[in-house]
């Protein structure tokens, strides 16, 4: 894993489509707070303030684009925006940009590659990058990045109705193709009351299609529905 003194930013900037005038702001954008715990010589802050800024810029750019280009009702536009800016979408964009290899994290965080926490770290880092681009190149530069890497996936979201939550999508598809309404059952729950983890199965009639887990029954049901869409190949990636 690289340290902050060893980074060659050129490949990352090439993938981002933006060359920073001030490299230190890019360095800050890729720095998770855990990195500072192990590198007392790091001269800058972590990326959470840039994430705060980038989140606002992202929401405004996406909202403006949807408002100008689509005459749909507010509720539909809200759902589309949520599908574009949620953590799962942004983490996927970070993966496509091969962004993870540049993240500065503690050794412990770096090892934990497949957790939900990693998804949020990646998503937050994309927002921090947007904040950094805004600070370095102002509105048009940030807008260009968002247009290119985030708004560009809107047609796929609309075509495949990915703005509909997974439970609704699984239910609509199962009813349409099979005439069956899915049902969910808690298969396991572990941990103390204040920190439980639930494992839920989604069934079509008596057939177990997929399982999912989460810190609430609702979260586990959503995870099970997502897994069910994949298992039945009802979701185009």
Q: Which residues are catalytic?
A: 55, 127
- Say how far residue 215 (Cα) sits from the centre of its chain: 18
Which residue from 62, 25, 61, 64 is spatially nearest to 43, judged by alpha carbons?
A: 25
What CA–CA distance (Å, rounded) separates 5 from 217?
Answer: 45
Q: What is the C-alpha R_g of the chain?
A: 20
Scanning the chain, the segments in alpha helix (DSSP H) are 10-16, 23-29, 33-38, 48-69, 74-85, 87-96, 107-111, 116-149, 154-159, 166-178, 217-231
Four-point Cα dihedral 137, 142, 148, 151, nearest 10: -170
Pairwise CA distance, residues 170 & 154, whole Å: 20
Q: Which pair of structure tokens corresponds to residue 185?
A: 């059952």
Residue 46 CB coordination number (10 Å): 20
Cβ contacts of 55 within 8 Å, gap of 6 or more: 127, 130, 131
Report the C-alpha gap between 77 and 81 in whole angstroms. Answer: 6
Q: Quick one: tokens of 152?
A: 């560009």
């Amino acid at each position: 894993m690289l340290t902050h003194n060893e980074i060659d930013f050129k490949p990352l900037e090439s993938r981002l489509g933006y060359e920073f005038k001030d490299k230190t702001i890019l360095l800050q954008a890729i720095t998770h707070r855990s990195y500072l715990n192990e590198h007392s010589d790091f001269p800058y802050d972590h990326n959470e303030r840039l994430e705060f800024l980038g989140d606002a810029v992202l929401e405004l750019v996406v909202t403006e684009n949807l408002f100008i280009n689509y005459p749909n009702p507010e509720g539909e536009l809200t759902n589309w925006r949520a599908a574009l800016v949620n953590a799962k979408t942004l983490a996927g964009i970070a993966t496509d940009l091969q962004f993870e290899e540049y993240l500065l994290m503690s050794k412990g965080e770096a090892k934990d590659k497949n957790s939900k926490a990693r998804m949020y770290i990646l998503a937050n880092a994309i927002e921090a990058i947007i904040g950094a681009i805004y600070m370095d190149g102002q509105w048009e530069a940030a807008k260009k990045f968002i247009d290119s890497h985030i708004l560009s996936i809107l047609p796929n979201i609309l075509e495949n109705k990915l703005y509909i939550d997974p439970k609704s999508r699984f239910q609509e598809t199962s009813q349409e193709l099979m005439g069956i309404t899915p049902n969910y059952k808690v298969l396991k729950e572990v941990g103390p009351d204040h920190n439980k983890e639930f494992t839920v199965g989604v069934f079509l009639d008596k057939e177990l299609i997929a399982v999912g887990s989460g810190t609430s029954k609702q979260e586990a049901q959503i995870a099970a529905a997502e897994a069910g869409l994949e298992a039945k190949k009802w979701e185009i990636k």
